[in-house]
Structure 1
Amino acid sequence: MTERETINGTPITEEQIAAWADEAETGYDVAAMKKRGRGRPGRGAEPSQVVALRLTLAEISAIDERAVREGKSRSEVIREALHLSTA
């Protein structure tokens, strides 16, 4: 294996591969695996939609700075701004 093989930037080791193989050989609890939800949780009673939005680097930077400052996600900051503009 080469040093370039990673998962989320973490190198995959031979020990990790062996552990995965051992886990696969013992079998998986299919019922437990099926209990996991699919996708992101909903935000309310109605389905939500993803909307593409073009922003400048300065606008994205301002949103991200506020999100970090307030401990929120980028999406939360944008939704709050939309709510305030329609209130």
Structure 2
Amino acid sequence: MDIVQLVSDFGFPVIMVVGLGYFVYFVWQTITNKIDPAVQEMKITIIRLTDQLRLLDQDMIRLQQKVNTVLELKEKDDSKKTKK
């Protein structure tokens, strides 16, 4: 069918409403079928990365505590050596 013939038969506003309806349907299907699954996958990835970040933060805290302990022990040992 020719668009000019459709416009002359039904009128411009009716054809535009049908076109807009198709556009909304197309956008809705694209969001539902492509974007939503990708967003869900990204959420899962973000959760995994957040968990890894927490684990690394805890590891850094433990490592800092160990370093502090070693430095304290070294300082105590050095102070004992200087007193002798």
Q: What TM-score bracket applies, with the shorter chain setting the length? A: under 0.3
Structure whose residues are more often helix by fraction? 2
TM-score normalised by length of structure 1: 0.25
The structure with the larger Rg is 2
TM-score normalised by length of structure 2: 0.26
